[in-house]
Structure 1
């Protein structure tokens, strides 16, 4: 759903850019708690920081894997729900923003003047809708691994048509063509409900895989633990709950193995799996072509980039060209993302290391 230059007029693009900048600024502050860089950091935040850059790189890789959803139409992961559930909503917005920035600058995917539109639609809206719905479901469902994965499925499913509706709203205000808004809305939401099913499946499988090995690393599953079983009269029964607070951090080893496995998976998906992705236009491209929204599309400012369109210039072999571009993209995203999250975390730690405060009386 990468919006190119020329779909939305300049005033609305500027307004969306301002909204996106505001959301990123708020997310930078909120992410400090999620990443463990604040004196009031959330329990388990020290385990979020190493994974945030990896989550951005993984989403970049999976977004290269377009899957067919209907005749002549494909879809790809948006990633807002996945990022928010794995590393937190504020960090999730930053993850998607990093991905979109790398795609726009290096691969000419998503217009540069439309960067604010894309961050607002694909990052902010998906995270707000998905994480809000996810938290609501988790509160009413039993605190089990199955409930967490089921909630992630529903949250991801709903977030995609919500993003499509958000794009339609921006088009209604600042679209450069005369296509009726109702036509755009029905077409966008209709195809993105189908894409949402694929998004939901990917999100559920990824969250479930991480929970299976390291539930303490999943932000949305903090406090989730299997009850202690005791054998009484030959039967297993739940032991009395521990008096320790639910927010107490879970003792766990280094997430290094999971980080390496995740990076290897992202590299394989981008370097090899992307060759087998659907070549059909994605939901927005298909709707734009069918309804005439793309009549005003402008050439991307980075169209001459050596990595434009996810290929390397002067390499004629499509498999090698696309694979290398994907590997470069994953590497660049994990480096930039990790660097940004490290700065966010360390800056707050340094800033807060001022004169000692007089403790409040008890």
Structure 2
């Protein structure tokens, strides 16, 4: 999913850069209210885990491979605002230190993974959580669903951006079909990893999981769903 330099023309890259700056600035304003002594250390661990996981690729087909995007996972664990910053930091370090994703494409990558990936994953997670029984075992299932949907969603957005400002003569319809097809497969791996990690954390410390904070406690019968 990392977009390299020169895949998109300058106007498109500047536009996605503007979107990324606006999204990250908003996250910087909202994150302090989400962080406390419990969440702050977990946010660091989440960023570290996503960084390490993105370095590991798994085969898909035809010689291609995929890796964890981590947006939905981070959102469920620490909330979407903090997750946006976690993924942005990961992408920034990867671009500056490992040349993974181009510097001129950093805004595009932040838009695709730290914004689209995080927020689509979070919204789908919240919707799935509403439909599932209000119990801890439902959180990893909802997280896996959100993770699965977030991956092809990011691919669709990239295909749209490339159709608008791609620098290679590739048919937009063919690109969309290829991107969605492969990323549906990658999404399965994303869902499995996300579900397993969230299940492990919920099993040990459910109080640390932002996506589980609305589970009934002390006899409460109704789950209040709040997208903060």
Q: Which band: TM-score by shorter chain? A: over 0.9
Matches of 1:123 and 1:189, distance apart in 2? 19
Partner of 2:95: 104
Structure having the higher Rg: 1
> Within the alignment, does 1:65 sit opposite 2:64 as a pair?
no
Query: TM-score, normalized by length of structure 1?
Result: 0.60
Give 1:22-61 correspondences, 5 Å limit: 22-36=22-36, 46-61=37-52
Q: Which has the higher contact order (CA 8 A, sep 6+)?
A: 1
Residue aligning to 1:354: none
CA shift at 1:3, angstroms? 0.3
For residues 171-250 of structure 1, the aligned pairs below 5 Å read 171-224=162-215, 241=219
TM-score by length of 2: 0.94
Matches within 5 A, 1:294-333: none
Size of the aligned set, in residue pairs, is 224
Does the 8 Å contact 2:74/2:80 carry over to 1? yes
Q: Please state whether the residue corresponding to 1:112 is helix, strand or coil.
A: coil
Shift of 1:242: 6.2
Compute the RMSD of aligned alpha carbons.
Answer: 1.7
Matched, 1:162 2:147: no
**Pairing 1:135–2:129 present:** no
Q: Which runs of 5+ in 2 are unaligned?
A: none
Counterpart among 79, 85, 88 of residue 94 in structure 1? 85
Distance 1:242 1:133, change over 3 A: closer
* DSSP-derived class of the 1:102 partner: helix
CA contact (8 A) 2:216 2:223 kept: no
Q: 1:173 to 1:242 in 2, by over 3 A?
A: closer
Aligned structure 1 segments of 4 or more residues deviating by more than 6 angstroms: none
Instruction: Output one character per residue of 1:89-135: Cα deviation in whole Å (capped at 9) or x when no partner.
Output: 00001010000000000001000000000000111001111100111
Question: Any idea what the Cα deviations from partners look like across 1:298-321, whole Å, max 9, x if unmatched?
Answer: xxxxxxxxxxxxxxxxxxxxxxxx
Shift of 1:49: 1.2
